[in-house]
A = this chain, B = another copy of it.
Amino acid sequence: MSNVRGVPSSNVPEPTLRRLPWYLAYAQLVQQGGGQYLSSTQIAHNIAVDPSMVAKDLSYVNIAGRTRVGYEVDELVRVLERFLGFTQPHKAFLFGVGRLGGALLHDNGLQQFGLEIVAGFDVKRELDGTNINRIPVYHISRFPELREPAGVDIGILTVPVDQAQQVCDTMVEGGIKAVWNFTPYRIRVPENVVVQNTSIYAHLAVMFNRLHAIKEGTR
């Protein structure tokens, strides 16, 4: 699988992986507007980063630009979507159907980016057998029996902080290979398991701090 064009390899730096979706979003805009070609300089100008960085980031993607005109927009969109994994369906289980977990079950946008949440799990018995946004919710004890036939590798962790490590351990024991951690807790996993931390509340702290600074006129 690793030699297929557009399929990601492991040595792509994380900052590059985080910037590529911005380039994709901009390329899609240009595509919608009927644009045919896009240069790294144009992308760089729009994103307000250095053109050499755009060129370097795109060098991982294995797409060739043409001298003077740049990348073909349709191809750029197609190759980036594929490279970023947005076109392949990735099945996920969600653990912790509370406030944030329930909110994520409502976010159909995830599917557009290649993530399909196929079930939610919770310790609350009264949630067992219910549905949220047509996604079934089960008691967490049913996870091991459901995982293997469903072929699920990804677990989304949205439990309270005091259960984060324990539920993470359960996920890993059950065969989950990538944990998308939305809790502010730093979970520990074995070496061959991926953790992606997305603590939106930490982002809130940064925003509040900068906002206060502006209001105080110290910036």
Chain A residues near B (Cβ < 8 Å): 1-2, 7-10, 12, 14, 17-18, 20-22, 24-26, 28-29, 32, 46-48, 84-86, 88, 90, 98-100, 102-104, 106-110, 113-115, 153-154, 161-162, 177-178, 180, 183-186, 188, 192-194, 196, 198-216, 218-219
Contacts and interface: CB of A to CB of B under 8 A. Distances in A.
Given A98-B109, A113-B201, A184 B32 contact: no
Contact of A29 (B29, B110, B161): B161
A10 B213 CA distance: 5
Contacts of A162: 29, 32
B186 A7 contact: no
Interface centre among A29, A86, A188, A196 (most CB of B within 10 A): A196
A64 B154 CA distance: 41
- Oligomeric state, in number of copies? 2
A9 B218 CA distance: 8
Contacts of A88: 208
A205 B21 contact: yes
Nearest to A113: B201
A212 B17 contact: no
Interface centre among A8, A9, A154 (most CB of B within 10 A): A8
Contacts of A184: 21-22, 24-25
Contacts of A48: 186, 188
